[in-house]
Structures are given as C-alpha cells and as structure tokens.
A and B are shown apart, each in its own frame.
Chain A
Amino acid sequence: MTKAAKVMVPAIKVTRLHKTFNCCKALDGVSLDINPGEMVALIGASGSGKSTLLRHVAGLAVGDSSAQGGSIEVMGRPVQARGRLASDIRATRARIGFVFQQFNLVGRLPVMTNVLTGSLGRLPSWRSLTGLFPLEDRERAFDALTRVGISETAWQRASTLSGGQQQRAAIARTLVQRAEIILADEPIASLDPESSRRVMETLATINAEDKTTVVVCLHQVDFAIRYCPRTIALKKGQIVFDGASSDLTPSALRDLYGAEADELSAPIQGSASFITDTALAVAG
C-alpha cells in the first residue's frame, strides 16, 4: 500500500522560473519535471535560454526574486526559491555534476587532480586544502578515467588534452562526484563529429548503467533524437515542446522555430554507426 502510494520525487523540478537580464528576459515562466533516470535533451536556438536554465538548476545563478514561484528543487531538496539560493546549496551542488561547453577544467593541473576535485564536496577541509585525497577517491578517479577511456592521460596537464578528451575528463569528474544528476551544457558544441559521438555515448552509458539522470543541451536535433528519449525545446525563454524526441520531425521543428529550424536540424556529419552496441542495448 504505502509503496504504491509513494509518489516518486522528481530528480529536477522547476516551477515558474523567470530570469531577466539587463536587456531582456532569458527565462519566461519555465516549469518542468524530470524523473530520476531520465535522459533528456534540451534544445533551442542560440540565445533561447538553455545555458541559463541549466545554470539555475545547478545553483550557479539565481532567478528573479519578484516572480511568483521561481523555485527549483533537485532530488526533493530546494536549490533556490524567489531569487535566493538555499542555505545548503553546496551539499546539493555536490549531487549535481555539471559538464560545460568549454570543459572548465583547470588547465595547469593534471587530469587526475581535475577529476579528483569531484570529491571536494564530501571531503573534510584539511584533506581537500592539503590535496591529500583518500586512496579510495584516487582509485575512483582512475576508474572513472578508465571508464571514459582516457586513463593514459591521467598525469598530463589538462590543457594538453584534445577537446574531446577534456570533455570526457569533465564527465569523469562527475563520476568521482557520484553525481545523481548530470547537467551537460552543449558538451559537444566545440567537438568534431567523432568526438561528439564518443562524448554522447559516454553520457548515454552512464545514464543506463548508473541510472544517473542526464539533461543535455544540444544544438543539433539529430543528436537529441539519437540519444535522448525525451526532448524539451526552448524558444525565447519559454518551453515550446516537451515530449518524445521521435515526435520532432523536420516539419514539427519548422512549426516550432520557423526559419531558425535550419540551425537546429543540421545533420550529423561523418560517421554512419552512431550508436555502439552498449548504447543501443541501453536505449532498447
């Protein structure tokens, strides 16, 4: 009885979020629910508010205070409400892995240290500030690097890696973090098609194997359809579509975006086999 009555706590719950920058409204009453274990694509033309939305969910930015609602909850814990961050925001951030378009690794530090920073949220200060990471975390970091396929670069400076490798290092950081949610802001926008494919596959595998909720901003609808069962589409700060990615036919896109649709539906170039067996098995 109790089990059936128990309502699933959404992994991410955004309620009527508004964000106004000096000039314009970047988010205009965004509400959405994402369940644990989902893999969701967030699409929209440049400037539609994708990055802004993700940064709010991670508590890296705060919404308008005047707006009604404007609250965000992650795994049932408040991130922000009415333009104020929750007081335990750092504990919540530790549960959210963020993958940035520009990787945001510390270039002068070894890849290993960059990946180990994923454990900062749960380490006591004397360990983190002296760099004495426990053996267990070091092992975890190395395993994570192995899992994303770049363990041989562990002791190289992060700045010496290729774009695709840096992005996978950033994903490894979220693994060390044991993030329950991964937010990826255009993780493949600056990568070539082959690297893009590997990064998306890595995310899909993590989503399948660890049941990690993944929200990924994308520019190309093709990738969304290929890797994410669900897509949320933004336009000028408003959600204009929220449903199965397979419903996003070219004509549906033209209805949503008009001339902007071309920007989103640029085909994936290069490779023919987009999805490896693991990812396929996962999707099925």
Chain B
Amino acid sequence: MNTAIDTARLSPPPRQSLVKLLAWGVIFATLAWSWSGAEIRPMALITDGANMGTFLADFFPPNFHDWRYYLEEMVITLHIAIWGTALAVVCAVPFGLLCAENVAPAWINQPVRRMMDSCRAINEMVFAMLFVVAVGLGPFAGVLALFVHTTGILAKLFSEAVEAIDPRPVEGIRATGANLLEEIVYGIIPQVMPLWISYSLYRFESNVRSATVVGMVGAGGIGVVLWEIIRGFYFAETCAVMLIIIATVSIIDIASSRLRKLFI
C-alpha cells in the first residue's frame, strides 16, 4: 500500500507527462511537414560524395598571394561594422526609451515599437540591396543597412532593460522636483548602462559577421571580394578569404565578450 503511494508521488502527475508527449508529437509533426518543402535528400550527400571531394580539394592549399588586398578589405568591413553599430546605438537610446512602457505612454510607444519591429523584421541583406540602389555601390550602403537593422534590434533590447529597472530610485529623483529628462539621466540610465553596453558590444560582434556578407550585394568590404572570387571559381583564394574572416571574427568575438564581462 505504502510503496504504491510513494512511487506515484515520485513520478510527475499524469497531466504533465501527457503535455510532454504532446510537445514531442508537435515537434516531429512540424519536421515531417517541412521535409518535402525543403527538399531534404540525404542520399545526395552519398551519391555526390565524390564530386564534393574534388570540390573540397580545390580549396586547398589556400592561396594567400593577394593577402594585402584581402586584409585591406577586411579592415573596411570592420569600419562598416563600427559605423553601422555606432549610429545604431545613438539612435537606439531615444527609440529604446520611447518604446519602454514605464517611460512613454501607449500612444507613443506602440507606434515606435511597430517601427522598430519593421526595422528588425527585414534582414540587413535586403536593406543593403535597397541602399546600394539609393546611395550607390560601396561601404556606405553597408553602413546604412547595418544601422537600420541594428537600431531595430537594439531599441528593443534597450527598452526591455528600461522596463526591468527598479522604479524606486527614479521616484527618489522625481521627488526632488526633477523633470522627465532628469529622471531618465539620473534614475534610469545609470541602472541600465551595464546592460546597454553589453548589448551594444554583442551587436558589434554580430555586425562584423553581417558586414562580411552585405558586401555580396555590392555594399563594400570583404564581401565584394568573396563574391567575385566565388563567381570566378577561384576556390583557393576563397579559402584564404574565408580563413581571414574566421580569424577576424573570432578575435573580435573573444575580445568583445571579455569586455562585456567587465560590465555585467
């Protein structure tokens, strides 16, 4: 008798097990449903194995003959990421505050949020293509593309940080007769600063990665080089460029995550 009760208590209630089972069912059903649309053909990996082997062999050894040129373009890519992020941070501060429920009333923060949603929803590659048309080929189009997309992301992250603050210090500032801007500068910003810095650095990391691809549509930097050599089937050069990208991105990632740890 006793043991029966005890074992029942040791396993989760039947409802929970049922929910778990259902969740797994939904996951597998979704995967099966997308199988044909995505044209998953595992056999192709085996039948075309030999082709892929020769293809891979073309990549090695990497050809670093033009390394100076690659590095120059890589630095331009960094420049694009730096300016795209910097402009976005500057704009995300006011937009982030306007998105926050505890700063702006609903009739302001709802429209601003929808605006930021659309900046975020559209990929930077799409913006890059549009800006290449608007301002011409080159890095500036890349900067603008990253700027718009990143503003949307950072404004949301910034506003979430603002909504999570402790309201009491802000009330303390308000009680001294301060106005709204002073409340923000002295009550809110000091509280969210570490998070804001950390989010900005994190976005800088991902923007370095994104900046390497916006070039593929002509928006400057290493991406342009990559696109040209892939199109010309210069695989050894492609490999060299990819190694340079991997090295740069890894260095930036490591440095920035070290830096971020200082602020949290």
Q: Chain A: residues with CB nearer than 8 A to chain B?
A: 58, 60, 90-98, 100, 102-109, 113, 117-122, 125, 128-129, 131, 170, 173, 177
Contacts and interface: CB of A to CB of B under 8 A. Distances in A.
A93 B171 contact: no
B46 interface: no
A31 B186 CA distance: 35
Contacts of A118: 176
B185 A173 contact: no
Interface in B198-250: none
Interface stretch (B113-121, B187-195, B251-259): B187-195
B186 A120 contact: yes
B262 interface: no
A9 B173 CA distance: 27
Contacts of A96: 175
B177 A120 contact: yes
Q: Which of A91, A97, A117, A131 has the most chain B CB atoms closer than 10 A to its own CB?
A: A117
A97 B174 CA distance: 11
A106 B172 contact: yes
A192 B181 CA distance: 36
A108 B187 CA distance: 10
Nearest to B188: A106
Contacts of A106: 169, 172-173, 186-187, 190-191
A100 B168 contact: yes
Interface in B147-200: 168-169, 171-179, 181-182, 185-187, 190-191, 193-194
Contact of A105 (B169, B174, B178, B179): B169
Contact of B179 (A90, A98, A109, A173): A90
B241 to A, nearest CB: 44
A129 B176 contact: no
A117 B176 CA distance: 7
A96 B169 CA distance: 16
A128 B187 CA distance: 13
B169 A107 contact: yes
Given A106-B187, A106-B191, A120-B186, A98 B172 contact: yes
B171 A100 contact: yes
A94 B174 CA distance: 9
Contacts of B182: 117, 120, 125, 128-129
- Leading 3 A-B pairs by shortest Cβ distance: A121-B177, A94-B177, A104-B172
Interface string B46-75: 000000000000000000000000000000
Contacts of A120: 173, 176-179, 182, 186
A121 B178 contact: yes
A170 B190 CA distance: 17
Given A117-B172, A120-B186, A131-B185, 6 more contacts: A92-B177, A97-B175, A98-B176, A104-B175, A129-B182, A170-B172
A90 B169 contact: no
A129 B172 contact: no
A173 B176 contact: yes
B75 to A, nearest CB: 35
A111 B194 CA distance: 19
A103 B169 CA distance: 8
B181 A129 contact: yes
B179 to A, nearest CB: 6
